[in-house]
Amino acid sequence: MNNIGIFLDRDGTINEELEFISSPDDVVLIPRSAEAIREANQLGLKVFVITNQSGIARGFIKEEELVKVHNKLVELLNNAGAHLDAIYFCPHHPEFGEPPYKIECDCRKPNSGMLRQAEKEFNIDLKKSFVVGDRIIDVQTAHAVGATGILVLTGYGKNQIEEIQKNNIKIDYIAEDLYDAMQFIKTKIKSNTSNEKNN
């Protein structure tokens, strides 16, 4: 199990969605998200946060401030018995800010740079892995590497449904929240493991 990654978007998936969180005081966990991460930990899965943070490029937040926000997220999860293996963030934007942040990069979702970094650092099998988020770009990030893409209806999730239907975008599973997504992940892993044994 330890080569399977669960890649989680941050705002609207683990913690409540606020436009450009810049203070640790703004970090509020979505109900049941810590429980979901704890279940992933107990299964031996690696859990990562992958988050676009163009607020850095736009000048809304500095990298040092983002570290404090992430420290608060880790603290809240740890207090609930949940553990993140790593947090990856993309500070870039192709149109806003100044170099080195104003660039076309490979890490800004739906590009797969953050997943590739985890693949390299933690020996993750991306095709067996899962990406969970509240936006279509999270699912597209999953499909770019052959992973399973799950949309949660927390955060911006509910607002994405119309666009998904209009553009016939493939979603592997639509979950009420991160905890619901985790139940799907457990079932899918069990099914995949069973199929591997039978082949």
CB 153 within 8 A of CB 171: no
Virtual torsion, Cα 35, 4, 109, 165, nearest 10 deg: -70
Distance CA 113, CA 50 (A): 10
Return d(Cα 64, Cα 141) in angstroms, integer.
Answer: 26
Of 98, 79, 4, 12, nearest in space to 51 by CA: 12
Three-state secondary structure call for residue 51: strand
Is 177 annotated as catalytic?
no
Q: Which of 9, 134, 138, 180 is catalytic?
A: 9
Q: Is 180 annotated as catalytic?
A: no
Query: Which residues does the annotation mark as catalytic?
Result: 9, 11
